[in-house]
Amino acid sequence: MGRAAKGWLLTAVLAGMGAYAQAQPVRYTTADKKAIKAYEAGAECMRLRKWDCAEGNLLKAAATDPRFIEPRIHLAEMYGQRGMDVEAIGLYKEAIAINPAYFPPAALHLAELELRQGRYADARKHFQVAREVDRDPARRRRAELGIANADFAVHALKQPVPFEPVNLGPGVNTKDPEYFPCITADDSTLILTRLLVDERSPYGKQEDFFVSRRQADGTWGTARPIASLNTVGNEGAGTLTPDGRFLIFTKCAGVDGYGKGFKGLGSCDLFISRKVGDRWTHPENLGAPVNSAGWESQPSMASDGRTLYFLRGGGRREQGQNMDIYVTRMAADGTFSTPEKLGDNVNSPGREESVQIHPDGKTLYFSSDGRPGMGGLDIYMSRLQDDGTWGPALNLGYPINTPGDENSLLVGADGRLAYFASDREGGHGDLDLYSFELYPEARPTPVSYIRGRVTDNATGKPVEADVELYDLSTGKLSTAAYSDPVTGEFLVCLPQGVDHALNASADGYLFYSRNYTYAEIQGGAPYQLDVKLSKPVAGEKIELRNIFFETASYGLLPASTVELDKLVRLMKGNPQMRIEVGGHTDNVGKDADNQVLSERRAGAVRDFLIGQGIAADRVTAKGYGAKEPVASNDTEEGRALNRRTEVTVL
């Protein structure tokens, strides 16, 4: 996969070696005065940050005495930080061959460089040396993980997974780095982070958001900056709700408010913006308890629009700093819960990055360098278990993962197509965005979607409504969205494998009800739905499509609770409203029996409402039997539509 937002940093030992040499000058590993003189000159140049001078003198010292360890360690560390891995590896090997116990961290640094180069056999050998000669507990743990990495990599190389990446093309990718993609559930709109040269920034560069839309021929159009979100500060690593209406992203505003109109709680915070029509609103800080004095970044919003995953680290984001994945949930009043750190199957003693909760709500993708892998940051997945915990992390394998760092993975709603950032050869510049077909074992549950428009039934004008989809087997919210107040358009994800109840509601209106069965949605085809909401005036009706009874009985099934609770809230929100609950059947069986069944089913709904505190004189119940069909009784589909419960406003 190549480098994806690379950031590997060796543990600095230059200062420590320098202090060692200065404190114990008589214990150099050489007695050659010329070598010592050159070494000390090189060390002084390093202190003054004169790197060419330091390199020249250290090379001279090493050449003067082939068993002089100190200059070799310094040079190896210098080369390693410059990315000159081959030269660093050679010098570390020379130092260890002389005396592996003289400077124990050298063996660990050598092994980590060899791991980065994919020299797994050599890396394993030197990790073992590091474990034997180094008494530092933290470095010994790194050596243990290194051995596990080398063993995993050797096995993974023998069993590569299918992987054929395709560049997203010049509409998306440029000579500048592009990374951290987020995409709508219908795979039509892509928002990415781009790193740009900007003289206005105190760092000379800054991150901005760009948006690209899929064209009729399947290619991506030219990515345009999102002017209403971008500033001279850094904006990036965003997450879209599946409908593309909300964007939560990272902004490093800082406590001093770097960037006009922004102020943070820590170094980097999470902000939210809503798209109204074609424009994004001014971003707002999510505030405590989501944001803290630490560093929050790389959010991922679940398709329910309520559950947010993100990364949290220390006060400043430094390479190598431990970062963990947290989750917080939004309550009905819009406040977020205290974030909870995910368990050990996800978070490791190392660094986690680039989290994505798939729209199925139960498959988590993330990067980590704290568990066995190919080396550096590898991409893993974990599945939500029945008890609410996350299952063991699965490494996505080679060549998706490589000895370098992999992150920025995004898996589309259909579960087949994944996106990632890479600087592999053949791209348009630095980091480019690519897509590839994810192999079956690593796929989430496929998710389709319902796209529609909410309007006023009388005027035809757009209505801003809350559109919710509930899992009928559990009664839990699966996914939710708000319809756009300007256009009335909405999009909600439709996970496969379970039956769902759909409700659309807005202040001042009766709610809309529909259900989708597993048999209907298992093909994954999207749905188009026009929702017309009516005012609660006399004569208006609601078809309660999610009221379920036991077969040939009037016993309410638990799956009815979601819809009945909606009806209770409607009645309590409109205390002057009186209703009739009407029961309807198909024409199977005797008319008299159907009449009695419809009356009892209507009565069961009335009893439920009264039991929830609705005054008895506000609810009447009436059975209509099979007298008022809304579809043909000649098919099972028609008969199912005729078996219904209706509410009429009186």
**CATH number, residue 478:** 2.60.40.2190
Last residue of a domain, one of 420, 442, 464: 442
Give the confidence band of 428 by pLDDT, cuts at 50, 70, 90.
confident
Is there a contact between 467 and 492 (Cβ–Cβ < 8 Å)? Answer: yes
Query: Strands 363-368, 378-383: parallel, antiparallel or unpaired by DSSP?
Result: antiparallel
Whether residue 565 lies inside any domain: the answer is yes
pLDDT of residue 175: 94
Answer yes or no: is 165 within a domain. no
pLDDT band at 520 (very low <50, low <70, confident <90, very high): low
pLDDT at 319: 41
- 432 and 455, same structural domain? no
What SS3 state is found at 364? strand
Beta bridge mates, 381: 365, 394
One domain, residues 512 and 410: no
Q: Check residue 6 and give its pLDDT.
A: 31
Same domain? For 298 and 393 the reply is yes
Distance CA 249, CA 244 (A): 13
Mean pLDDT across the stretch 165-178?
95
| Residue where a domain terminates, one of 535, 560, 584 | 535
pLDDT at residue 204, rounded to an integer: 79
Q: Which range (5-9, 197-201, 208-212, 435-439) has the least confidence?
A: 5-9
**pLDDT at residue 201, as a whole number:** 72
For the cut 80, the answer to whether the pLDDT of residue 417 exceeds it is: yes
CA neighbours closer than 13 Å in the CB half-sphere of residue 297: 26
If you average pLDDT over residues 130-159, what whole number do you get?
Answer: 94
Judgement on whether residues 99 and 247 belong to the same structural domain of the protein: no
262 and 395 in a single domain? The answer is yes
Average pLDDT, the chain: 88
In a domain, 172, yes or no: no
| CA-closest candidate to residue 395, choices 208, 226, 614, 148 | 148
Mean pLDDT over 402-407 rounds to 87
438 with 459, same domain: the answer is no
Do 451 and 520 reside in the same domain of the chain?
Answer: yes
CATH of the domain at 115: 1.25.40.10
Q: Express each pLDDT in 471-481 by its tens digit.
A: 888 888 888 88
CB 529 within 8 A of CB 451: yes
User: Residue 607 is part of which domain span?
Assistant: 538-650
Q: What mean pLDDT comes out for the span 431-451?
A: 93
Give the pLDDT score at 21: 41
What pLDDT is stored for residue 231 in this prediction?
85
| pLDDT grade for 52, boundaries at 50, 70 and 90 | very high
Mean pLDDT of 285-295: 91
Q: Percent of the chain, pLDDT > 70?
A: 91
- Identify the H or E element spanning 477: strand 477-482
Mean pLDDT of 258-279: 77
The whole-number average pLDDT for the span 593-611 is: 94
- C-alpha 452/C-alpha 254 separation (Å) is 40
Q: pLDDT at position 316, please?
A: 46
Using alpha carbons, list the distances in angstroms from residue 246 to 243, 279, 287, 487, 592: 8, 11, 17, 15, 53
Name the band, by pLDDT with cuts 50, 70 and 90, for residue 519.
Answer: low
Contacts of 207 (CB under 8 A, 6+ apart): 193, 194, 195, 196, 234, 235, 236
The count of structural domains within the chain is: 4
Asked if pLDDT for residue 167 goes beyond 90, the answer is yes
Q: Are residues 208 and 121 in the same domain?
A: no
CA 624 to CA 546: how far, in whole Å? Answer: 19
Q: How far apart are CA 582 and CA 623, in angstroms?
A: 6
The answer on 224 and 210 residing in a single domain is yes
Q: In sequence order, what are the residues at sequence separation of 6 or more whose Cβ sits closer than 8 angstroms to the Cβ of residue 180?
A: 5, 192, 193, 236, 237, 238, 298, 354, 408, 421
Residue 571 is part of a domain; what is its CATH number? Answer: 3.30.1330.60
The mean pLDDT value for 241-247 works out to 90
Select from 394, 409, 442 the last residue of a domain. Answer: 442
Residue 56 lies in a domain: yes
Residues 130 and 184 in one domain: no
Give the per-residue pLDDT at 524. Answer: 60
Instruction: Give residue 596's pLDDT band: very low, low, confident or very high (50, 70, 90).
Output: very high
pLDDT of 234 over the 50 cut? yes
Give the residue-averaged pLDDT of 382-399: 95
The mean per-residue pLDDT over the stretch 225-231 comes to 90
Q: Concatenate the DSSP letters of all residues of 202-214 into one string.
A: TTSEEEEEEEEEB
Mean pLDDT is lowest, of 383-397, 519-533, 602-616, for 519-533
Q: Is 7 part of any domain?
A: no
**Contact partners, residue 336, CB within 8 Å, separation at least 6:** 286, 289, 290, 308, 328, 329, 330
Task: Tell me the pLDDT band of 171, cut-offs 50, 70 and 90.
Answer: very high
Residue 168 lies in a domain: no
pLDDT of 253 reads: 65
Are the C-beta atoms of residues 122 and 114 closer than 8 Å to each other?
A: yes
More confident residue, 607 or 7: 607
Q: At 147, is the pLDDT very low, low, confident or very high (cuts 50, 70, 90)?
A: very high
Cα distances (angstroms) measured from residue 201 to each of 89, 229, 236: 37, 16, 15
- Regarding whether 450 and 438 lie in a shared domain, the answer is no
Residue-wise pLDDT for 63-114, tens only, equals: 999 999 999 999 999 998 888 999 999 999 999 999 999 999 999 999 999 9
Mean pLDDT over residues 498-502, rounded?
85
Asked, for residue 466, whether it belongs to a domain, the answer is: yes
| pLDDT of amino acid 480 | 87
- pLDDT, residue 374, reads 94
Q: Is residue 457 part of a domain?
A: yes
What pLDDT is recorded for position 527? 85
- Whole-angstrom distance, CA of residue 131 vs CA of residue 119: 18
Same structural domain, 461 and 581: no
- Could you tell me if 290 and 339 are in contact, meaning their C-beta atoms sit under 8 angstroms apart? yes
